[in-house]
Amino acid sequence: MLNVGFYGFGYIGRLIAKIALERSFNIIGVVDIDPSIVGRDIGEVLGLSDKLGVVVSSRVDSLKGSDVVFHATGSYLDKVYDQIVSILGIRADVLSTCETLAYPYYRYPILARRLDELAIKNNVSILGTGINPGFLLDTLVIILSAPFNSIVRVEASRSLDAAKRREPFRRKIGLGLDIDTARRKMESGELTGHVGYAESVLLIADALSINLAKIIEAQEPIVADSDIESSGVKIQRGYVKGVRGYGVGYANNREVIRVEFKAYVGADEYEDILIEGSSYSIRWRSTGTPGDMGTAAVLVNLAERIGDYGPGLLTMTDLIPFKSIIK
C-alpha cells in the first residue's frame, strides 16, 4: 500500500485525494493554511460519509511517513520553492501541479539546480506535471513522435469552454471583466491566464534533441462581440469571454515548435496535434479532455512509479523511453 501526503488541499488537492482513496492509497497527512479546514478531518472536508482519522494540519511534519507527497498550491516555482524544500526534508517523493516546475530550468535555473541537489541528497524524486503543461501539449506530442525518424515541425493546440470550468479558473482568465481591467491585471500578474506555454515548448525541444535559439510566448483576453451564454455563464458584448495564447520555439530562424491554448465561453473543446516529418505527417485530434480530472489522474497514475526513475529533479521527458529528432 502506498503512503501518501498532501501539501495543499484546495479543489485540485481534494480531487487528487478522492482518486487516491479509490486506488486504496493510505493518506498519512494533509497540510494547508486555510483556517476553515485546519483541524478538520479530511473525510469531512471531502464530503464523505465517514471520517478518515486524518486531520488537516498547518505543519509539514504531519506528512512524515509518506512515500509520495502531492503538492498543489501555486503556479510559480519561486513562490512554492520553500514548500517543496520542506517536503524533501521528510524524505518523500514530490509530485507537484506547479506549472513552472514542469520545466524549471527556463525561468528558475538556480532554484532547479538546488532542488536537484537536495532531492539527490535525500534520495527522492521531484516531478512537476499535470494535464497542461505535463501531458496534452507536450508529453502526448512526444509520444506521438515515436513513429518518426526525423521531424520538421510540430504544432499542438487545445481549446476548451471556460464556462464548464471551475470558478477559480474563470477568475484567473478574467472572465466578465472589461478589456482594460483584464489587460492591466494580466500585465501586473494579478491574472495569470494559462501558465506553461514555454514549459511545454521546452519539454518537446528537450525530447526532440534541439537547442532552441529563441522562445516567444504571449497571451491576451478575448472580448465577446455579442452577448453569449454557455453552461449558465453569461457574458455581455464588449466584456472578456476568455483568453488565448501561444508559445513558439525557433531554431535557425525557423519556427519548429508551436503550442496554442484558448479558453473562452462557448468554445469548441478539442486537442489537436500536427507532426510534420521529413517524408510524412500525422494529425491527432480529440473531443476535449477534462482538465481538473485529467491533472489529478496524471499525478495519481505516476505516484506508484515515480520512485523507479531515481533521485533528483525530473521532467516528463525523463519518463519517456524514446526520443526522436528535429532536423
Give the count of beta carbons closer than 10 Å to the beta carbon of residue 240. 25
Contact criterion met (CB below 8 Å) for 201 and 249: yes
pTM metric for this prediction: 0.96
Say what the pLDDT of residue 324 is. 83
Query: First and final CA of the chain: distance in angstroms?
Result: 45
Say what the pLDDT of residue 322 is. 76
Say what the pLDDT of residue 327 is. 79
Say what the pLDDT of residue 326 is. 84
Q: Phi then psi for 261, rounded to 5 degrees? A: -140, 135
Residue 69, CA distances (Å) to 78, 177, 315 in order: 19, 37, 17
Say what the pLDDT of residue 28 is. 98
CA–CA separation, 192 and 172 (whole Å) = 6
Give me the long-range contacts of 301-305 (CB less than 8 A, separation at least 24).
302/95, 302/127, 302/129, 303/2, 303/4, 303/20, 303/25, 303/68, 303/70, 303/95, 304/2
For 133, the grid coordinates are 503543461
Say what the pLDDT of residue 325 is. 83
Show the domains of the chain with their CATH numbers.
3-130+295-319 (3.40.50.720), 139-288 (3.30.360)
For 50, the grid coordinates are 465517514
Closest C-alpha among 131, 127, 77 to residue 296: 131
Residue 103, CA distances (Å) to 20, 82, 257, 316 in order: 25, 18, 16, 9
Give the count of beta carbons closer than 10 Å to the beta carbon of residue 217. 18
- Tens of pLDDT along the chain (327 residues) come to 999 999 999 999 999 999 999 999 999 999 999 999 999 999 999 999 999 999 999 999 999 999 999 999 999 999 999 999 999 999 999 999 999 999 999 999 999 999 999 999 999 999 999 999 999 999 999 999 999 999 999 999 999 999 999 898 999 999 999 999 999 999 999 999 999 999 999 999 999 999 999 999 999 999 999 999 999 999 999 999 999 999 999 999 999 999 999 999 999 999 999 999 999 999 999 999 999 999 999 999 999 999 999 999 999 999 998 778 887
